[in-house]
Amino acid sequence: MTELDDPSKSPLNIGIVGLGSMGALHAAIARALPGVALSAAIDSDERLLKLLSRVLPEISVFTEIDEIGTLDRLDAIYICTPPNTHHELAIRAQRAVPGIAVFVEKPMVTRSRDGADLARRSIESKAVTMVGLQKRYVGTFKRAKEILDGGGIGNPVYFRSQTFTAGVLETGSGWKFEPGTGGVLLDWGVHLVDLLYWFFGSMRVREAVRRRIFSANVEDYVHATLQSDSGVTGSFEAGWSMRTHRSTELTLEIHGTRGALRVNEDQLTTYLDSPYEEFPAHPYSRHVHALTPRIPYLLGQPENVLQEIAFLDSVRLRRPPPTSFANVAPIHLLMDSISEFPLERP
Amino acid sequence: MNTRLASLPDRLLLGANAFQGTNHFLKERGRARETDLAAPRIRAVLSAAVSSGATGFTFTADDEMYSTLGGWSGEPSSRAVNLYVIYPNSKLISRLIARGTSGMLSEAMDGLRFSTRARMVVKGAWSFLLKDPYSALSTYLELETERLRVTVSPHFRLQSILLNELLTDSIMSVGAVEVFRVFLKTTTDRLGVTPGFVTRNLPMFIKFCKSKEIRLDKIAVMTPLNPLGFQMTPDRETVEAVLRQEGELKVIGISLLAGGQVSLREALEYLSKQRLVNALAVGASTTDQARQTFTQLRELNARLP
């Protein structure tokens, strides 16, 4: 039972900023969970708001986020707009409703200094904040983290990592393809950078290459050599123009002094010198389904729902979730460092 | 208790997941299967499935698939193959992701320029949508169906239109029941097909329908069913219990292999123990696989109570 299941608690009132696919996903998942009311929607497109009002008249709609201050009560807001707006909208939301919990879709910001600013503000205000980095809630990655922390493969020494998809196979337009807001690193690579920070702690870039194949002004592929403060080193690759990968796949291979593991969204495979918990001393795989807890509702992937539950529980308990602004802000230092490498032509 | 009262004209359906980018198999195995599934090969797989017992085909609405089906000779079937088509058109979904809701809606309307009526709709797409979103939904369903019917070959018969799981489960969650009602009315009264829903939250869906007085005996439901409880939310036991109770529901089982975690034989053993579904949909990417799969399914079908 999570905090959300407690019938003695009054419903949490939530609002959604940005009625795109991610805004709709968050609205639907949160609304399906017990003790949550969808109270407000904010979007700059008045036509969308009118349409929403025709279908769901009980929801208050606004074109400006500052207007949420007129509501009797709003406990949490989900910011699902282009990433270059996150910094400003998070600040305006907290000005309009002091203490409101803020969830921001990934990437948290497009510049590390904005991330540091949001982290500082959230620490000062003690408000609950969270960034949508749902890969941490995938059963395979979560179990891999537990094995690493428990010493199942000994001390990690080096890793190989990649996140590939075939999402961009022609020249695109919009903020995802503009410098500063777009590129595969911010769009997909951020998930992998987050997992690497989660697994190994703070990291720095030793070298990086950014290439484009279809996009005019942003990288379609990046690879980098990274090293953690604790000395773990490895390769990082992110590509969104990979014809070899029809569906998105994020893979990590970690080699330690007493074993290795390979993990993606589907499977966790261990190669251990000696048994560790349920993992024997020979190659052994577990499917994500067996590593995923029971969920009350499924939309998207289980990790989307588990992330939603984690955020709403954090709001109820007033405790910071693992991907709070303060915890996520440092990964944008690494992202900035990679982005400083020149964009190479094909 | 263990009896299904409802019926569908088909027991075995070929699923298009191997053709349409919805690969439920493990990523590494899925990549190995991602071969050239061009139109002639899709038609060959369909023929192989039909020759081995499939009488229906289910896929997500998509212009390329319509064209592919337009070129099917009908061999070796002696009667029309029934289509169970999942709406909306997959192009709309990709536009939604790429262009955002507003851009998608404009473009969706823009894509329906092939008839005079559609052109009238497009001319004032937004005002039409804002004035009466439910009429706009009804119009979309009619136009999409018109496009499907004029493109696919006469060897097919449209049996059912199903709302995809993203929409079904989202609409249910936010409580927009009028969308369901318009969908049901349009598909039943104006298009003359069985309305259906794809859901991965069957118990919640049943509860929602009952609370809104939606008649379960009139609809088909496509939902995961496998021995591991994969995508059966909240869990396998609860879904099975609901299926046993709701004998009037027309149920099409999908995700039988639990995303590649169980063999077809294991799936069939599970399904043969209890009569939970009216029909099964299984994908195949080669003609050999289609023959083997549907031969086994046909044998199971004969054993079912």
Contacts of A29 in chain B (CB under 8 A): 173
Between CA A58 and CA A53 the distance in angstroms is 8
A253 and A113 inside one domain: no
Return the C-alpha torsion angle A36, A38, A42, A47, nearest 10: 160
Between CA A114 and CA B2 the distance in angstroms is 60
Between CA A235 and CA A226 the distance in angstroms is 6
Handedness of CA A88, A89, A95, A98 (dihedral sign): negative
CB contact at 8 A, B50 and B76: yes
Q: Nearest-CA distance from B164 to chain A in Å?
A: 12
pLDDT the model gives residue A97: 97
From the list A56, A172, A246, the residue facing B176 with the nearest CB is A56
Q: Strands (DSSP E) along B36-132, which ranges?
A: 56-60, 81-87
Contacts of A31 in chain B (CB under 8 A): 173-175
Between CA B253 and CA B230 the distance in angstroms is 12
Query: Is residue B23 very low, low, confident or very high in pLDDT (cuts 50, 70, 90)?
Result: very low
Confirm or reject contact between A120 and chain B (CB < 8 A): no
Contacts of B98 in chain A (CB under 8 A): 172, 174
* Residue of chain B whose Cα is closest to the Cα of A300: B166
Contacts of B230 in chain A (CB under 8 A): 289
Return the C-alpha torsion angle A196, A201, A203, A208, nearest 10: -10
pLDDT the model gives residue B2: 45
Between CA B12 and CA B237 the distance in angstroms is 24
A146 and A284 inside one domain: yes
Contacts of B126 in chain A (CB under 8 A): 47
Classify residue B209 as exposed, middle or buried by CB count within 10 Å of its CB (0-12, 13-18, 19+). buried
CB contact at 8 A, A261 and A147: yes
Query: Regarding predicted confidence, which is higher, A135 or B305?
Result: A135
How many CB atoms lie under 10 A from the CB of residue B221? Answer: 25
The least confident of A135-144, B178-187, B294-303 is B294-303
How many CB atoms lie under 10 A from the CB of residue B134? Answer: 16
From the list A20, A32, A247, the residue facing B173 with the nearest CB is A32
Query: Is residue B25 very low, low, confident or very high in pLDDT (cuts 50, 70, 90)?
Result: very low
CB contact at 8 A, A284 and A259: no
Contact A297 B179 (CB under 8 A): no
Main-chain phi, psi angles of B154, to 5 degrees: -70, 0
How many CB atoms lie under 10 A from the CB of residue B78? Answer: 7
Output the CA–CA distances (angstroms, integers) from residue B250 to B77, B189, B190, B219, B236, in the order listed: 24, 19, 21, 6, 18
Classify residue B118 as exposed, middle or buried by CB count within 10 Å of its CB (0-12, 13-18, 19+). buried
Confirm or reject contact between A47 and chain B (CB < 8 A): yes
User: CB pairs under 8 A, 24+ apart, for A84-88?
Assistant: A84/A110, A84/A175, A84/A180, A84/A181, A86/A110, A86/A114, A86/A118, A87/A114, A87/A115, A87/A117, A87/A118
A111 is in which domain, residue-wise? Answer: 3-132+301-324
Global pTM value: 0.91
Q: Report the percent of chain A where pLDDT is more than 90.
A: 90
Model confidence at A288: pLDDT above 80: yes
Query: Is residue A126 very low, low, confident or very high in pLDDT (cuts 50, 70, 90)?
Result: very high
Write the pLDDT tens digit of every residue in A55-80: 999 999 999 999 999 999 999 999 99
A22 and A102 inside one domain: yes
Q: Which residues fall within 8 angstroms of residue A308, CB to CB, at 6 or more apart?
A: A26, A29, A30, A33
A168 and A100 inside one domain: no
pLDDT the model gives residue B99: 53
Q: Nearest-CA distance from A62 to chain B in Å?
A: 16
A53 and A166 inside one domain: no
* Residue of chain B whose Cα is closest to the Cα of A302: B231
A223 and A247 inside one domain: yes
Which tokens belong to A181? 């807001």
State the fold for domain B12-99+155-303: TIM Barrel (3.20.20)
CB contact at 8 A, A136 and A250: no
How is residue A186 annotated by DSSP? Answer: I
Contact B169 A21 (CB under 8 A): no
Model confidence at B24: pLDDT above 50: no
Confirm or reject contact between A24 and chain B (CB < 8 A): yes
A27 and A173 inside one domain: no
* Residue of chain A whose Cα is closest to the Cα of B261: A287
pLDDT the model gives residue A161: 98
A144 and A99 inside one domain: no
Q: Is residue A332 part of a domain?
A: no
Contact B23 A244 (CB under 8 A): no
pLDDT the model gives residue B98: 54
Mean pLDDT of chain A: 95
Helix axes B236-245, B202-211, angle to 10 degrees: 40
CB contact at 8 A, A245 and A165: yes
A126 and A70 inside one domain: yes
Model confidence at B122: pLDDT above 60: no
pLDDT the model gives residue A90: 98
Q: What is the count of residue pairs from A and B with beta carbons less than 8 Å apart?
A: 100
How is residue B199 annotated by DSSP? Answer: -
Query: Regarding predicted confidence, which is higher, A47 or A7?
Result: A47
Confirm or reject contact between A287 and chain B (CB < 8 A): yes
From the list B23, B102, B172, the residue facing A47 with the nearest CB is B102
* Residue of chain A whose Cα is closest to the Cα of B204: A297
Supply the CATH number for residue A168's domain. 3.30.360.10
CB contact at 8 A, B66 and B78: no
Contacts of A247 in chain B (CB under 8 A): 21, 23, 27, 30
Which tokens belong to A79? 């910011």
Contacts of A263 in chain B (CB under 8 A): none
Contact B31 A245 (CB under 8 A): yes
pLDDT the model gives residue A247: 80
Q: Is residue A346 part of a domain?
A: no
A228 and A316 inside one domain: no
Query: Regarding predicted confidence, which is higher, B83 or B9?
Result: B83
Single out the residue of A147, A86, A106, A76 nearest to residue A323, CA to CA.
A106
Confirm or reject contact between A296 and chain B (CB < 8 A): yes
Q: Nearest-CA distance from A39 to chain B in Å?
A: 11
Between CA A114 and CA A180 the distance in angstroms is 13
Return the C-alpha torsion angle A179, A181, A183, A185, nearest 10: 120
pLDDT the model gives residue B49: 95
CB contact at 8 A, A221 and A211: yes
The number of distinct structural domains making up chain A is 2
A216 and A278 inside one domain: yes
Contacts of B257 in chain A (CB under 8 A): none
A95 and A165 inside one domain: no
Which tokens belong to B182? 């318009």
The least confident of A336-345, B63-72, B96-105, B168-177 is B96-105
Query: Is residue B73 very low, low, confident or very high in pLDDT (cuts 50, 70, 90)?
Result: confident
CB contact at 8 A, A289 and B259: yes
Placement of tokens 């690494």 in the chain = A334
Output the CA–CA distances (angstroms, integers) from residue B255 to A342, B122, B230, in the order listed: 45, 38, 8
Confirm or reject contact between A48 and chain B (CB < 8 A): yes
